[in-house]
Amino acid sequence: GAVVSQHPSRVICKSGTSVKIECRSLDFQATTMFWYRQFPKQSLMLMATSNEGSKATYEQGVEKDKFLINHASLTLSTLTVTSAHPEDSSFYICSAVPGFTEAFFGQGTRLTVV
């Protein structure tokens, strides 16, 4: 299947700093990518839809100024958690869809804010 690479896999940052997470589609182009958040032992919750060349669409309750999404090319979307706080600690996962087929997920990023 198609490959979606997410980096970094783990990151620890201090409270108040910003963290950038990258999501790359390695062997296909993706005009749309999705960002999910997953708390321990819970399901994946959609945060936002990232659209290449335009603004991201955020789900209700997700702060767009805190979770900045940039989809600058057909193979890269980035999620920046700004002014991170301990409550932002979570597992962040991106996905991309090659055309109209199944969605492929990145490996996830474990963010810990201390």
Partner 1 sequence: GENVEQHPSTLSVQEGDSAVIKCTYSDSASNYFPWYKQELGKGPQLIIDIRSNVGEKKDQRIAVTLNKTAKHFSLHITETQPEDSAVYFCAASGNSGNTPLVFGKGTRLSVIA
Q: Would you tell me which residues interact with partner 1 (CB under 8 A)?
A: 1, 4, 6, 31-32, 34, 42-44, 46, 49, 93, 95, 97-108, 110
Smallest separation, CB 20 to partner 1 (Å):
18
Smallest separation, CB 16 to partner 1 (Å):
26
Q: Given the complex with partner 1, which of 27 and 83 has the nearer CB atom?
A: 27
Please give the Cα distance from 55 to 81 (Å, whole number): 16
Please give the Cα distance from 29 to 111 (Å, whole number): 27
Q: Given the complex with partner 1, which of 16 and 99 has the nearer CB atom?
A: 99
Q: Given the complex with partner 1, which of 39 and 83 has the nearer CB atom?
A: 39
Smallest separation, CB 83 to partner 1 (Å):
26
Q: Given the complex with partner 1, which of 11 and 103 has the nearer CB atom?
A: 103
4, 59 in Cβ contact below 8 A?
no
Q: Collapse the DSSP code of 98 into the 3-class scheme (helix H, G, I; strand E, B; otherwise coil) and give the result.
A: coil
CA distances in angstroms from 59 to 35, 71, 77, 91, listed in the order given: 10, 17, 17, 17
102, 30 in Cβ contact below 8 A?
no
Smallest separation, CB 31 to partner 1 (Å):
8
